[in-house]
Amino acid sequence: MSTREAVVAIVALVFAFGFVLWSSLAPEPCASEVRAVELRAVRLPLRIPVTATAYNSEPAQTDTSPFIEAVGDDLRRLWARGLAPIAVSRDVERFAPMGSTVWVRETPFFVADRIPCQAGWCADLWFLSKPEALKWGRRQVVLEIRP
């Protein structure tokens, strides 16, 4: 085998390997596409019982950027526009993805963040002040997802 034939064979192998590698890395459907399919299969309005707690943006209760939610919005601006932010656990997020609206006792909340919840089916409602959050406390409520 000549040098030229060896180089052509190596280039062909590298190309074939690259194609196989690229095709194995093909993107899977993104989470929002999967959620859209799940939501189409559910009859709305959907009522989900959850354990709801309250929080506000104090550094002791949050991270280093207490007023910024996962979607990148400033909580104070959302509140000023009449949108009450809510953070939900992953199991609730399957039915109410980031950016959607859910209702708690006829009050609309904007899903703006995700929370870890060991027991599952949890929500965290954001309040502007600590006294309001303490007044809410911890309650069993029903999240309603409307069409």
Instruction: Tell me the C-alpha distance between 102 and 86, whole Å.
Output: 9
Whole-number pLDDT of residue 2: 74
Residues 64 and 130 in one domain: yes
Host domain of residue 22: 1-41
The answer to whether the CB of 34 falls within 8 A of the CB of 90 is no
- Which residue's entry shows tokens 């929080």? 55
Residues 82 and 111 in one domain: yes
Residues 57 and 105 in one domain: yes
- State the DSSP code for 66: T
Task: Give whole-number Cα distances, 65 to 56, 61, 72, in Å.
Answer: 12, 11, 11
Output the domain CATH number for residue 100.
Answer: 2.40.40.10
Residues 68 and 10 in one domain: no
Residues 86 and 130 in one domain: yes
pTM of the model: 0.66
Taking the C-alpha atoms of 78, 89, 42 and 147 in order, what is their torsion angle to the nearest 10 degrees?
Answer: -10
Whole-number pLDDT of residue 78: 80
Residues 22 and 52 in one domain: no
Residues 68 and 106 in one domain: yes
Is the pLDDT at 24 greater than 90? The verdict is: no
pLDDT in tens, 59-103: 776 777 788 877 777 888 888 888 889 999 999 999 999 889 999
Residues 78 and 119 in one domain: yes
The confidence band for 26, taking pLDDT boundaries of 50, 70 and 90, is: very low
Task: Give whole-number Cα distances, 63 to 32, 60, 140, 143, in Å.
Answer: 26, 8, 26, 26
The confidence band for 39, taking pLDDT boundaries of 50, 70 and 90, is: low
Q: Identify the residue with better confidence: 12 or 22.
A: 12
Instruction: Tell me the C-alpha distance between 30 and 20, whole Å.
Output: 22
Residues 26 and 62 in one domain: no
Residues 53 and 76 in one domain: yes
Number of domains forming the structure of the chain = 2
Residues 116 and 133 in one domain: yes
Is the pLDDT at 13 greater than 60? The verdict is: no
The answer to whether the CB of 54 falls within 8 A of the CB of 125 is yes
Residues 57 and 115 in one domain: yes
